[in-house]
Amino acid sequence: MDNQRQRLYWRANTALIRNLLIVWALVSIVFSILLVEPLNTIRFFGIPFGFWMAQQGSIVTFVVLIFIYAVQMDKLDRKYDIKRK
Amino acid sequence: MSVELWTIIIVGISFLLYLYIGWQSRVKDSKGFFVADQGVPSIANGAATAADWMSAASFISMAGLISFLGYDGSIYLMGWTGGYVLLALLLAPYLRKFGKYTVPDFVGDRYYSNIARLVAVVAAIFISLTYVAGQMRGVGIVFSRFLQVDINTGVIIGMVIVGFFSVLGGMKGITWTQVAQYGILIFAYLIPAIAIAFLLTGNPIPQFAFTFSDIATKLNQVQVDLGFKEYTQAFVNKPMLDVLFITIALMVGTAGLPHVIVRFYTVPDVRSARFSAGWALLFIAILYTTAPALSMFARYNLINTLNNNTVQEVQKLDWVKKWENTKLLSFEDKNGDGKLQLTPKKETNEITIDPDIIVLATPEIAKLAPWVIALVAAGGLAAALSTASGLLLVISSSIAHDVYYRIIDPDASEQKRLFVGRLMVGLSIVLAGYFGVNPPGFVGQVVAFAFGLAASSFFPVIVLGIFDKRTNSTGAIAGMLTGLIFTIIYIVGVKFFGMPTWFFGVSPEGIGTLGMVINFIVTWVVSRLTAPPPAHIQALVEELRSPSVDLDVPVPKIH
């Protein structure tokens, strides 16, 4: 891979990482800790929403984020024709 | 058939299975021994990582702790899962691309320095040793609770089993046994949780029962009636800042723990490393989303069964008598009204419950068959043994690979390297067993160390090593040392020398977050004040960022 393509590939990768980490921080640090008290006044089905985010929602989001990363990187690898085994 | 007989049968079968797998995956060379020939499929590596990660503490104690902490127990739930996102996005693919055997390998090569390598070796051994002592003890405790054998005998049985498959099969043996252990532990965890969810709410899926039923509302009401705070109320036991710091320290620490990182060296390529992290967290999340449901249901159920009943009535229940005998449950009618009351105040509280009961007694409370209780014992053992074996391999590879092969004798023959690897696994098992039999009094208190040190030492230098080409050896060494020393002084000072928690009351468990920030800043600043890394290292970083199959740039040997 030449330098120019390598740079573009890396920039696309870091942009994806940044976006996913923003969501990561939002569901865990912001919703589940910093804003948990106001969010607890909202009911999510049978349970206060902030509490639910901290004990279920954030964990489920983490799993989804990792798979989004893996699938998106697959697409990026194909676009840049990265050789694999 | 009695519970004891069932336990012996099920635990016996599971041990035979581990021995069989260990025998089948014996290895011939050091690549097989240290990184399982880099041939582990990504789903299998995910399951092995999950078993490696979930220790006796996750399996036996976590749900109980959460049920006493309510919302504040979320520090464990998010802290011990969120780190996998960091691992998957920032570390795993690049470390797999790097393709060596250990974490100190990366630190030593990327920072072209044997001093950096040695700092990493010391940190890796220290982190793994503090962690493994607790696991061997856990094996002993499960044996003593379920089979009434002496704790020390239990530790020795555990040592023999782990010794067999890890000496013969190294990482390969450990990996495939961990896959089996994951199967056993998740099955053992889910059955009682499903049963109690169905019993209380009519919905068999614990996560759905947790979300859609009215148990949360009812439990909050019961707690308030008894004088407790609501179960779902935040920051009852710990202030917000402490919850924040502990959660981040556990997350970053998870991503920096060497026994977790090395699992990603065992997959065939970068793509598998990315997916493998997803599978790992999915497998972990199955237990970690069940645990808070179990915590809430079990607490509600315990209060309803025990509170405001007479001692005689309560003792009619079989499980109450059994767990009273083990001292994990005790009653004292302090106000003499003939009834038991659970209250938040120590002077008036009449029911004392050890957190471990939540998982251990649920099958009996839910009146499940004796074989389920036996399965829980096998699950607890699987959790403890799988984590112990992963940690033991890190200790052995730190000495056999990083110190012996990379520093002392780089020309060692393949056979010699394999022999030293096996020898070191054997020695670390004996050492771990010794700590299991004679637990240093501080074991419980030093778990904070493992996460704090991993967060404040490895994570920043690995991330900067990949994402910042300008980071050099001087910066990395300075950063690791300041991060480590600061964190150690704070933890040791507060835990053992009565130092006040002067950083805004942040507890020792959370201080690794600050240690990590200090490490990041020092590494970055010192790197920019000193000469940039040599051209071949910059080329290596460039190469790490491209996920194609093999490294095109050979890593130079350091002598």
Span A43-75, pLDDT tens digits: 999 899 999 999 999 999 999 999 999 999 999
- Residue B55: what pLDDT? 87
Q: Does the beta-carbon distance from B211 to A55 stay under 8 Å?
A: no
Domain count within chain A: 1
Taking domain B26-302+368-544, whether its CATH number is 1.20.1730.10 is answered by yes
Select from A45, A55, A65 the Cβ nearest to the Cβ of B292.
A55
Do B221 and B303 form a contact (C-beta atoms < 8 A)? no
How far, rounded to the nearest angstrom, does the alpha carbon of residue B508 sit from its chain's CA centroid?
18
**pLDDT number for residue B506:** 92
Listed in sequence order, the residues at least 6 apart from B208 whose beta carbon sits closer than 8 Å to its beta carbon are none
pLDDT of residue B549: 52
Indicate where chain B has its CATH 1.20.1730.10 domain(s): 26-302+368-544
- DSSP reduced 3-state for B302: helix
**Does residue A37 lie in a domain region?**
yes
Structural domain contains residue A11: yes
Determine whether the interchain pair B289/A37 forms a contact, defined as Cβ–Cβ distance below 8 Å: no
Tokens 């984020």 correspond to: A65
pLDDT of residue A84 exceeding 60:
no
The answer to whether position A84 is within a domain reads no
Q: Which of A47, A51, A84 sits opposite B549 (nearest CB)?
A: A84
Q: Give the mutation candidate from B65, B245, B546, B552 for the A interface (greatest A CB count, under 10 A).
A: B546
* Residue A8 included in any domain: yes
In the structure encoding, which two tokens stand for residue B438, read together?
């004679």
List chain B residues with CB under 8 Å of A30.
none
Q: Closest CB to B281: pick one of A29, A45, A62.
A: A62
Cβ atoms within 10 Å, residue B11: 24
Q: Is B171 helix (H, G, I), strand (E, B) or coil?
A: helix
* Subunit contact B85:A65, Cβ cutoff 8 A: yes
Give how far B248 is from chain A: nearest CA, Å: 8
Is A1 close to B292, i.e. CB distance below 8 A?
no
**pLDDT < 70 positions in chain B:** 440-448, 549-559
Q: What is the pLDDT of residue A85?
A: 46
Instruction: Give SS3 for A48.
Output: strand
Structure tokens at B20: 């069989």
Query: pTM of the entire structure?
Result: 0.94
The minimum CA-CA distance between B74 and chain A, rounded to whole Å, is 6
Q: Would residue A39 count as lying in a domain? A: yes
* Residue whose structure tokens are 């990187």: A73
Within-domain flag for A85: no
Chain-chain contact of A73 with B212 (C-beta, under 8 angstroms): no
Contacts of A85 in chain B (CB under 8 A): 268-269, 549
Residues of B whose CB is below 8 A from A23: none
Query: What is the pLDDT, as a whole number, of residue B414?
Result: 87
- Taking contacts as CB-CB distances below 8 angstroms, the residues of chain A near B547 are 73, 77, 82, 84
| A84 contacts on B by Cβ (under 8 Å) | 269, 271, 547-549
- Is B119 exposed, middle or buried, given 0-12, 13-18 or 19+ CB atoms closer than 10 A? buried
From the list A40, A66, A82, the residue facing B548 with the nearest CB is A82
Determine, yes or no, domain membership for A32: yes
**CB count in 10 Å sphere of residue B348:** 12
Q: How far is CA B331 from CA B219, B222, B256, B320, B336, in A?
A: 22, 20, 43, 10, 12
Beta strands A43-44 and A47-48 are: antiparallel
Provide the shortest C-alpha distance from residue A58 to chain B (in Å).
7
Q: Does residue A12 form part of some domain?
A: yes
Looking up tokens 């240690």 gives B515
Residue A58 lies in domain: 3-79
Evaluate whether B136 touches B386 at the Cβ level (below 8 Å).
no
Q: Are B81 and B253 in contact (CB under 8 A)?
A: no
Q: What's the pLDDT at B440?
A: 66
Cβ within 8 Å, pair A28-B71: no
Yes or no: say if B213 and B203 are a contact pair by the CB < 8 Å rule.
yes
Residue B559 has a pLDDT of: 45
Q: What is the ipTM of this complex?
A: 0.96
